[in-house]
A and B are shown apart, each in its own frame.
Chain A
């Protein structure tokens, strides 16, 4: 049984004169090579050209802020629990008086780390998040020289405060989610 019908039975019988010349075989090989030179390429020249990404591509994570610029994450630990690769760790802390403009809830993540080498980009953290804090984005994880640089802390994960530098994740929220958020008794989710 064979996977293709291009198999050839080989034998070590004595070659004929034409076969010993090898010229027809070389010519045949060159024809194949030239055919491939003019065929449509499957690769692209990466830095100059990038491939089109899906709107819901699951790449590098972002920790969102709310409309007032406060961090949404409350360090509930559900993302770390849902993570099949155990890539997420966090340390919680209590919000002090005067920090109300920094953190949305009375508890926040003092340390939040994702090991990008362990992460399999499945998006379960995003599904588990009750506060709509973590999302996967279209950005891809940069290449680095050392393994330690792949452990992303809050400095790399939390999005900038400036409104125009925020990362748009609206495409990742289904209409059902957006409708749910508008319910008056689901105020905690705003």
Chain B
């Protein structure tokens, strides 16, 4: 077991673990944000640079600090390593610059985009970005493409994280989707506008950190925060059938996989669950999904607190009145 200290919090991890995974094990605000790394996809990470951290002590054997900031998603932990994330002003300054780079070609169409409200890039720029842009040149522009009858590709919004490419490579058979061209001209596409028809292709919508790949059956139907997430399951022969339904009254607007605290899906779901089962009778509804209070999705959704789950100090006082 290797000992690692991140922002003063120590933990022990197995050999081969990356700094980002160790930080996620500790949890809390010291976890570096990640736009391209996805723990469920092999080989992902190292592209977006938002998870850069400072290694102030390389290891017990060689305590020299690393000369540059390193990408925490692809740097393995060494014994005795000391890492600075939010305690290092250098890291925060760099992260601000990275966000600015990511936003250079990202259009400001959040009012139109279906991903708004659950977008990783929105969260990232809200937390680390600046509210003005210094970029005056034109942005890259592409036409919108329908990849099959269920998925819409807005290449304008893509940040080239490659997550969808890994998803298609690793959980579906037959690679038909990848990155064409190079550098500034590179774009996610299918070969000669082939439709993606594989049963699990809909998962590219969930792994996309921005609104580049969106659900055509949910296109402009509602805003994310006007629908209410409910955990539900069904007996599906192809996948686990465990999903989140986004409902308003008794109507199902959208079906997605369940996402964890790092916004990664817990289990990939099949296209039949995602696109075809839009009746409440198809599902066994377990109950409302817990969304963090700070998320816009929980605005105006009121929920009775469970016994023992009270986090609000005011609520505690109400429960136990002083005598």
Chain A interfacial positions (CB closer than 8 Å to B) = 74-78, 80-81, 86, 92-94, 105-107, 130-131, 184-185, 188
Contacts and interface: CB of A to CB of B under 8 A. Distances in A.
Given A74-B112, A107-B220, 5 more contacts: A81-B299, A93-B220, A105-B111, A131-B111, A188-B109
A184 B138 CA distance: 11
Contacts of B300: 81, 86
A188 B296 CA distance: 24
A76 B219 CA distance: 13
Interface stretch (B86-94, B122-130, B221-229, B315-323): B221-229
B136 A77 contact: no
B135 A130 contact: no
Given A92-B221, A94-B219, A94-B220, A107 B112 contact: yes
A93 B135 CA distance: 31
Interface in B180-229: 219-223, 225-226
Interface string B77-116: 0000000000000000000000000000000111110001
Nearest to B107: A188
B309 interface: no
Contacts of B223: 76-77, 81
15 contacts: A74-B112, A76-B110, A76-B112, A76-B116, A77-B226, A80-B226, A81-B296, A81-B300, A92-B220, A92-B222, A93-B220, A107-B111, A107-B220, A185-B135, A188-B109
B108 A188 contact: yes
A74 B220 CA distance: 10
Taking chain B's interface residues, is the majority helix, strand, or loop, or is none over half, making it mixed? Answer: loop
Contacts of B221: 92
Nearest to B299: A81
B133 interface: yes
B225 A81 contact: yes
Contacts of B111: 74, 76, 78, 105, 107, 130-131
Interface in B296-311: 296, 299-300
B74 to A, nearest CB: 33
Of all A-B residue pairs in the complex, the 9 with the closest CB atoms, nearest first, are: A76-B111, A77-B223, A92-B220, A107-B112, A74-B111, A185-B136, A107-B220, A185-B133, A94-B220
Given A86-B300, A94-B220, A106 B136 contact: no
A21 to B, nearest CB: 62
Contacts of A94: 219-220
Contacts of B133: 185
Contacts of B116: 76
Nearest to A73: B111
A94 B222 CA distance: 12
Contacts of A76: 110-112, 116, 223
Nearest to B224: A77
A184 B136 contact: yes
Interface in B20-68: none
Interface in B128-157: 133-136
Contacts of A130: 110-111
